[in-house]
Amino acid sequence: MRECPMITTYGNPNASIVLIQMVDDHDLEGIESEAAEIKKRTDADFCLLAIKVQNWNCDLSPWPAPALFGKENFGNGAADTLNAVLKICTDQEKTHFI
């Protein structure tokens, strides 16, 4: 995962509750509706951060493995991805949910 992932923010960026969701292009198509549904179901003020994953099989896999479907093998980028996400979660005044 890149050091500075692409992040799209929904809801109140100043909210004390931060929801973090890893997304690809397909997920981004419906993420705005997802944020609206969360808002409809709770009175809690929140911020939803949609973090774009460039290479799903590599960036979210903890170790290399052969492809299950298609031709793209799994990588070992999960630790780097987690470290990049944790850099976003440094504000101790907020509660982060990954």
Q: Is the pTM of this model over 0.85?
A: yes
Backbone dihedral angles phi then psi of residue 22, each to the nearest 5 degrees? -80, 135
pLDDT of residue 1: 58
Tokens read off for 34: 């997802």
Q: Does the pLDDT at position 3 exceed 60?
A: no
Residues 31-87 have pLDDT tens digits of 999 999 999 999 999 999 999 999 999 999 999 999 988 899 999 999 999 999 999
Q: What is the pLDDT at residue 89?
A: 96
Residue 24 to residue 51: CA distance in whole angstroms: 8
Return the SS3 of 4. coil
Residue 4 confidence class, pLDDT cut points 50, 70, 90: low
Can you tell me the distance from the alpha carbon of 59 to that of 56, in angstroms, rounded to the nearest whole number? Answer: 5
